[in-house]
Structure 1
Amino acid sequence: MRVYVIFGGDGLATDRFFDEVSHPPVTETVRVKPEGAADDLTESEWPQVERFVRRNDAIPAEAVEISEADRAAIVSAPQFHRWGRTQLTAMAIPASTLAVPPIADRQFARALAPAGSITEAEVEAWVGPGEIPAAMEAALSLIPDAGGQRFGARMMLRGATTFERCHPLTEQLGALLGYDAAALDALWTRAAAL
């Protein structure tokens, strides 16, 4: 499957993926002579196959085709992969980030309340029906709307059942809420114990 992604000026993926499922390519039907077919088999008897002609016109021109392995690497730890014109480069992942386990949405919300970031009522509304707390909504409003970044962040907060310390939105939202890297590590460690 062909996968395309848009990279920002810093080489980071903007979390906009396009593939053949969501954006089918332009193809043409051609007949291909089967290997080992008899010479007397006419072209009209050859099987028809779809051949790739070009990518879907709805995929932006700046989107770069990447391998499925590169896509998986970006999804697993986007902030540690940079695009450098022709290939994806993996950056070193800090050991402290690797040591912090993913936490459940319930743990994340419960750890934010005692820290004063959100209220207990907001914890219940967030974990139950998925209502995003006011402080989070305020932080979301500061995320650029370009490329669906704000919508993606909102959907992650509303629907995620686990939160990972190494996810790029963790750093971005954390900074908007006043958490530096050490404070985020402490929050994750505290939440993992709940």
Structure 2
Amino acid sequence: MSSHSLSATKSLLLLILLLGGVYSEPHSRQNENHFNCGSDEYLSGDLCCKLCRPGEFVQKPCTVPQTQGKCERCHPGMFTEASNGLDSCRACSSCDKNQEMVADCSATSDRKCQCRIGHFYADPQAPELCLPCNKCPQGVPVLQECSSTANTVCSSAGTNQRNRLFLLTVLPALAVLAVFCYYLRR
């Protein structure tokens, strides 16, 4: 390859690199804009818009960067707990048949439910599943009453009491029988 060809190739590569840098610069600036939204902003298209307050949602996003679009109050039965860029509020949850409401839904908080009396959460990770409380057998003391968060705890003393009763009545009878058999053999 001649020095003229080598020089032309180098010039062409330099031109490609320069043009590539020029064309990629706006793209990288655009990508930077995606990450430059403040903690009180959300990304709408290519614009950073100010968040709506809790209890509101974005009806129309902003058209000018770092401004707030049109926010609207959540409708009854809907809520948003935190500042947001949502295009609708979340639907309030409902209590199931084994639950009772302890706090109603508002524009800024979901409905709160707990297990009805006589029921408990089977799994604290799944609070929507309430099961009927166990009852201790007759004569067995209750160590802990059933609550919405824990099942009934029965004492094992009832079992021990029955064992003691067995030992106090059956063992002496066996001893008397053993003595009686001993004397019969003589």
> Does the TM-score normalized on the shorter chain lie above 0.5?
no
Larger CA Rg, structure 1 vs 2: 2
Q: Please give the TM-score of this superposition, normalised by the length of structure 2.
A: 0.20
Instruction: Name which structure has the greater RCO, CA cutoff 8 Å, separation 6+.
Output: 1
Structure having the higher helix fraction is 1
